[in-house]
Chains A and B, each alone.
Chain A
Amino acid sequence: MYGYIPSYILENIAKAGIKEARLSVMQSGTTREKRAVKVVDMATLSGAAKQPSGTASREVYDCQNEWRQRVKLVRGEGGPATADKSVNNAYDFGGITRDYYKNVLGRNSIDNIGLDLILNVHFGEKYMNAFWDGDEMTFGDGDGDIFVNFEKSLDVVAHELTHGVTQFTADLVYKGQSGALNEHFSDVFGTAITQHYEKQTAEDADWLIGDEIMGPTLFGEALRSMSSPGTAYDNDLMGKDSQPDHMKDYYAGPDDNYGVHINSGIPNRAFYLTAMDIGTDKAALIWYHALQNLYPKAQFNDAVKVIARSAQILIKDQKVPKGSTQIVRAAFKAVGLPTP
């Protein structure tokens, strides 16, 4: 279907909220990109490779410090803990994230039909990063000085896995405001899942992203603050946190794909304000509902409308408190959204 109908038509239908069109736009774009990059091995071509199980099974691979993914499978679903903490952390945090999506949000894994969770640890040499690439998650060990192992933190694992969820729902284009929303939703669920697991309330959470992977050189710093964007770090190595907390300070330059990790601070603070009012779990319910109704080129103003509408629907379903719609609007107004 997606090969016959022009993509711009599909996107307009997706914007109108037609689920099948949204899936088609997403699948054609992402699958085509990923397939163009990844080399398919003979086992997969011949059918001898393991087929997706549809049971959301975890597979943890040790990349053995090579610049390749899926080098050696070291722990499968139900397998015993290994002597490698990185493997066990990736396994455990992948499971906690998967179980939150299933038990709290009713979602069956990343694609909602049980996609297996592939987690790669020890990628590259002193690799100071973690990413989602359309199929799987990959974590570096850091250099042990600035950053430690990236899978050490539940909010990092949940953040990356949520990029997958976004891919299979709104599929927000990773550039500009839609890209900042993509980053924002990953921070939202990274934080919500961490708070839920650690049984924290919005009031006693620290609302910091990445504080657990800072190494000895940057001890006490964090990568982002959802409660106070712009205050997470200030040091000679990283400079000063440049996230704005209001649209008046919106970054319009080309760096970072036109600010995907920068401008995410603005909606991040709106989520924090909402959560402080109705609780993080209720706020996350609203945001998850909205994520399923957003679309690839959605801008901040679009997200405000959709999130407020999601609050209305969930109030009607008695899943969030009355007054949540107004709380959401007030939270976004506090950060300067919507813009005229």
Chain B
Amino acid sequence: MNIDFEREGGYAPLRLKYRANTEELPRDVAEKILDLIDRSGILELKQEDIQSPAKYPDVFSYRITLSEDGGGKSLTFNDITAPDSLRPLLTFLQELALEKLRSGNR
């Protein structure tokens, strides 16, 4: 599965991006991502189920795009509209993005 994650906005200008194909990741990382995707129910969520992300000052805005075998799902939301079920997945993707930054890979 292809993962394309982006976080922007916020009080501090630390933009995060994370792109990966789970087949190319270390096994434990891939399994964790897939497990979190499954538990979050993100593949069943529709954009119209999420409140339109209004532009509040300094909130983080997120975009997650998942694609596999020609099909995919892309959702945008912010800290106010993010469904609770997505939080563990968001937290892990942000950790992975930060790891990449720390290793000098912007």
A positions within 8 Å CB-CB of B: 33-34, 36-38, 67, 124-126, 128-134, 138, 143, 146-147, 150, 156, 159-160, 163, 173-175, 179, 182-183, 186, 210, 213, 223, 236-239, 241-242, 255-257, 261
Complex contact A132–B101 (CB within 8 A): no
Residues of B within 8 A of A242 (CB): 13
| Interface of B toward A, CB cutoff 8 Å | 8-15, 51-52, 54-60, 79-82, 84, 87, 91, 98, 101-102, 104, 106
> What residues of chain A lie closer than 8 Å to B60, measured between beta carbons?
129
Whether A67 and B82, one on each chain, are in contact in the complex, defined by CB atoms closer than 8 angstroms, is yes
Identify the closest chain B residue to A156 (Cβ): B11
**Contact A223/B51 with A131-B59, A174-B56 known, Cβ cut-off 8 Å:** no
Q: Which residues of B contact A38 (CB under 8 A)?
A: 80
Given A131-B56, A175-B55: A159 in contact with B104 (beta carbons within 8 A): no
Given known A-B contacts A67-B87, A256-B8, A237 and B79 have beta carbons under 8 A apart? no
Q: In whole Å, how far is A84's beta carbon from the nearest beta carbon of chain B?
A: 21
CB–CB B8/A255 < 8 A: yes
Contact A129:B10 (CB < 8 A) given known A33-B54, A179-B55, A236-B104:
yes
Which residue on chain A has the smallest CB distance to residue B82? Answer: A67
Closest Cβ of chain B to A109, distance in Å, is: 18
Residues of A within 8 A of B12 (CB): 128-129, 147, 210, 213, 223
| A237 to B11 CA separation, bound complex (whole angstroms) | 16
Q: Establish whether residues A129 and B101, one from each chain, have CB atoms under 8 Å apart when the complex forms.
A: no
Would you call B9 and A256 a contact (CB within 8 A)?
Answer: yes
Q: Is the interface of B mostly helix, strand, loop or mixed?
A: loop
Residues of B within 8 A of A130 (CB): 11, 58
Q: Would A257 and B11 be within 8 Å (CB), given that A37-B81, A125-B91 are in contact?
A: no
**Given known A67-B87, A237-B101, contact A131–B11 (CB-CB < 8 A):** yes
- In the assembly, what is the distance between CA of A182 and CA of B11, in Å? 13
Q: Is the CB of A132 within 8 A of B9?
A: no
Q: By the criterion CB–CB under 8 Å, are B57 and A163 in contact? A: yes
A to B contact number (C-beta, < 8 Å)? 89
B106 contacts A159, CB within 8 Å?
no
B11 contact set on A, CB distance < 8 A: 129-131, 150, 156, 159-160, 210, 223
A163→B58 contact, CB < 8 A: yes
CB-based contact A37/B80 at 8 Å = yes
Q: How far is the CB of B13 from chain A (nearest CB, A)?
A: 6
Contact check, B9 vs A257: say whether CB atoms are below 8 A apart: yes
Which A-chain residue is minimally distant from B105 (CB atoms)?
A236
Closest Cβ of chain A to B41, distance in Å, is 16
CA distance A35 to B12 in the complex (A): 27
Closest to A175 in B: B55
> A125 contacts which chain B residues (CB < 8 A)?
91
Query: In the complex, which of the residues A34, A160, A210, A236 has the most CB atoms of chain B within 10 Å of its own CB atom?
Result: A236
**Additional 10 contacts, C-beta under 8 A, given A132-B58, A160-B57:** A38-B80, A126-B91, A130-B11, A131-B79, A174-B57, A210-B12, A223-B11, A239-B106, A256-B13, A257-B9
The 6 A-B pairs with the shortest beta carbon distances in the complex, nearest first, are A174-B55, A131-B58, A163-B57, A33-B54, A131-B59, A129-B10
Q: Which of B14, B59, B82, B87 contacts A128 (CB 8 A)?
A: B14
Say yes or no: A37 contacts B51, CB within 8 Å: yes
State the CA gap A261–B104 with chains docked (Å).
24
Least CB distance from B53 to A in Å reads 9
Q: Which residue of B lies closest to A132 (CB)?
A: B57
